[in-house]
C-alpha cells in the first residue's frame, strides 16, 4: 500500500521569506500523480500544485514550486515571498494512475503559519 | 459557477439512525470521491467512483455505502451511524486527467 509522510507537523515563516515543506512517499508504482493541497481556517480544500510522475520538469504555479525527486520518492513544496494568506494546513497526496484504481492517499499535513 | 455542493453542512444525529449526505457537481466530472478528515490523521478516502455505476473502496469504507446512478451525484450513506464516524466529510470531483480535484465545503457530522 502507498504511504505519504509529512515529517514537519508545524512550521512558521516570516512574511516575504521562502519556506519549504517536505513530503516523502512510498510506492512501487511507476505511473502516478502527486499533489499539494492547502486547507485554510475556512476548511476549504484547495489544490495548490500537481505533478505527473513521468514528467521530469518540476511543476510551478506562481509563488509555489515543487522539487520532485522520483528516485528518492520526495516531493517538497517551496513557497516564495510568503504571504499572510498562505497560513494554512498543507497536505501532500499521492494517486496511483492505473486505469481503474485511482485511490488518493494523503499525508497527515503540515501546519504553516506566516508571521507578519 | 463550477462547484461541488454538499448537504447538509452540519448534522448531529444519534447512533443507529440512518442518514445520507448528498454530493453534487456541475462540471460533468467523471471521478468523484468521499473523504473523512480527523485530527492528526489527515484525509482518508472512503469510496470513489470512476463513472456512473462504477464505485470502489478507498482506505476506510467500513460502515459506509455509496451509489452513482447519475454522473453529477454521489451520495454517502451511513446505514447505522456510530460515534466513531463523527468526523468532517468532504466530497470531491475531477476529470480523468486529475488536473485539479474540486472539493465541496465539507459536512461536519456528530454521532451521539
Could you give the 3-state DSSP secondary structure of residue A1?
coil
CA distances from A9 to A82, A90, A107, B11 (A): 18, 10, 10, 29
Could you give the 3-state DSSP secondary structure of residue A84?
helix
Residues of B in contact with A5 (CB under 8 A): none
pLDDT at B24: 98
Element (DSSP H or E) covering residue A19: strand A19-21
Q: Say which of B56, B59, B103 has its CB closest to residue A45.
A: B103
| Cβ atoms A75, A91 nearer than 8 A | no
pLDDT at A101: 56
Whether A108 and B105 lie within 8 Å, measured CB to CB:
no
CA distances from B5 to A77, B1, B27 (A): 29, 11, 11
| Cβ-based interface (< 8 Å): residues of A facing B | 33, 35, 43-47, 50, 91, 93, 95, 97, 100-109
Which of A14-18, A100-104, B31-35 is least confident?
Answer: A100-104
Q: Which three cell numbers stand for residue A93?
A: 497526496
Q: Which three cell numbers stand for residue B85?
A: 464516524
User: What is the band of A56 on the pLDDT scale with cuts at 50, 70, 90?
Assistant: confident
Q: Say which of A50, A97, A108 has its CB closest to residue B40.
A: A108
Secondary structure of chain B in HEC code, one letter for each residue:
CCCEEEECCEEEECCCCCEEEEEEECCCCCEEEEEEEECCCEEEEEEEEEECCEEEECCCCCCCEECCCCCCECCEEECCCCHHHCEEEEEEEECCCCCCCEECCCEEEEEC
User: What is the band of B41 on the pLDDT scale with cuts at 50, 70, 90?
Assistant: confident
Q: How far apart are CA A87 and CA A110, in angstroms?
A: 11
CA distances from B29 to A48, B74, B82, B85 (A): 19, 11, 31, 27
CA contacts within 13 A on the Cβ side of B50:
12
A100: pLDDT strictly greater than 60: no
User: What is the band of A48 on the pLDDT scale with cuts at 50, 70, 90?
Assistant: very high
B95 touches chain A (CB under 8 A): no
Q: What is the mean pLDDT of chain A?
A: 92
Q: Which of B47, A86, A9, A70 is nearest to A78 (CA)?
A: A86
Q: Which of B19, B56, B49 is nearest to B33 (CA)?
A: B49
Amino acid at each position: 500500500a502507498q504511504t505519504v509522510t509529512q515529517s514537519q507537523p508545524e512550521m512558521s515563516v516570516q512574511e516575504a521569506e521562502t519556506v519549504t515543506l517536505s513530503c516523502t512517499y512510498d510506492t512501487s508504482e511507476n505511473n502516478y500523480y502527486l499533489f499539494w493541497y492547502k486547507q485554510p481556517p475556512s476548511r476549504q480544500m484547495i489544490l495548490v500544485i500537481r505533478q505527473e510522475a513521468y514528467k521530469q520538469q518540476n511543476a510551478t504555479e506562481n509563488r509555489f514550486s515543487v522539487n520532485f525527486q522520483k528516485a528518492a520518492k520526495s516531493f517538497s513544496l517551496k513557497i516564495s515571498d510568503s504571504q499572510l494568506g498562505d497560513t494554512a494546513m498543507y497536505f501532500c497526496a499521492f494517486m496511483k494512475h492505473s486505469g481503474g484504481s485511482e485511490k488518493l492517499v494523503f499525508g497527515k499535513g503540515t501546519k504553516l503559519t506566516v508571521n507578519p | 459557477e463550477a462547484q461541488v455542493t454538499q448537504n447538509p453542512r452540519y448534522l448531529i444525529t444519534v447512533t443507529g439512525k440512518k442518514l445520507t449526505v448528498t454530493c453534487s457537481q456541475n462540471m460533468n466530472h467523471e471521478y468523484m470521491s468521499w473523504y473523512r478528515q480527523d485530527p492528526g490523521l489527515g484525509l482518508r478516502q472512503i469510496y470513489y467512483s470512476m463513472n456512473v455505476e462504477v464505485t470502489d473502496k478507498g482506505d476506510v469504507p467500513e460502515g459506509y455505502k455509496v451509489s452513482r446512478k447519475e454522473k453529477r451525484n454521489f451520495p454517502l450513506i451511513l446505514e447505522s451511524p456510530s460515534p466513531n464516524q463523527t468526523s468532517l466529510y468532504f466530497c470531491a470531483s475531477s476529470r480523468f486527467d486529475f488536473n485539479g480535484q474540486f472539493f465541496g465545503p465539507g459536512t461536519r457530522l456528530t454521532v451521539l
